[in-house]
Structure 1
Amino acid sequence: MPEQLLNVAQVAKLLGTWETSGERFPRRLIEERRITFVKVGRHVRIPASAVAELIAANTVQPINARRTATNRTAA
């Protein structure tokens, strides 16, 4: 079965940018070649896996810093 292709509006909704910037952010990703896309005639489609890869590549993991005796403040 072929992979699901999403239009720009669907990608904006998945990324949570639809309310603030509409389709601008996904279109900028396409223009800057920062996301994989497919052109079908004049239509632009983005594979769902490309969106998942973009999210994974830009996910920042938290730092679990422990408090030690040297970085505690005086009480």
Structure 2
Amino acid sequence: MKPPRVPEETDPRATLRGGLPDRYLTPDDIAELFDVPKETVYQWRKKRTGPPGFRIGKHIRYDPVAVSNWTAKRMAEDAAA
């Protein structure tokens, strides 16, 4: 009998390409997704220029739908320019 398959860690970029993840994203996920330093993610939040995040206690989380919408908006603005 085969042992049960252990799910592998997923790459947030691949997850968003294939569909939305079933969890909220962390600043680390956002940094990896957009291939930027985590400090950039925090600066985006401070300047309110990045994807909208929210706090759960002391932790910042990002709704994958909001991140996807933010990305689509940025792409549309870039295409119009």
The corresponding residue for 2:79 is 61
User: Does residue 1:7 correspond to 2:22, yes or no?
Assistant: no
Q: Deviations over 1:10-30 (max 9, x none)?
A: 01111121xxxx201211121
Matches within 5 A, 1:12-51: 12-17=31-36, 22-34=37-49, 35-51=51-67
How far residue 33 of structure 1 moved from its aligned partner, in angstroms, is: 2.2
Moved over 3 A (4+): none
RMSD: 2.1
RCO (CA 8 Å, sep 6+): is it higher in 1 or 2?
1
Deviation at 1:45, TM superposition (A): 0.6
User: Normalised by the size of structure 2, how large is the TM-score?
Assistant: 0.58
Q: Which has the larger radius of gyration?
A: 1
Distance 1:25 1:50 in 2: 18
TM-score normalised according to structure 1 size: 0.62
Q: Which runs of 5+ in 1 are unaligned?
A: 63-75
Higher helix share: 2
SS in 2 for 1:6: coil
1:4 CA displacement = 2.4
